[in-house]
Amino acid sequence: MQVNGEFKLKAPRQTVWDMLNDPEVLAASIPGVDRFVSEGQDRYRAEMSVGIGMIRGKFGGTVEVKDKLEPERYRMLVEGKGPGGWLKGDGLLNLNETGAEATTVSVVGDATVGGLLARVGQRMIGNASNSLMKQFFSNLEKEIRRRQKA
Mean pLDDT of 21-39: 92
Say which amino acid occupies 8.
K
Question: Phi then psi for 50, rounded to 5 degrees?
Answer: -135, 150
Give me the CATH number covering residue 47.
Answer: 3.30.530.20
Say which amino acid occupies 136.
F
Mean pLDDT of 134-139: 93
Q: Which residues contact 52 (CB under 8 A, 6 or more apart)?
A: 84, 117, 120, 124, 125, 128
Average pLDDT, the chain: 88
Model pLDDT, residue 122: 61
pTM for this one?
A: 0.88
What domain range includes position 143?
2-149
Domain count, the chain: 1
**117 pLDDT exceeds 80?**
no
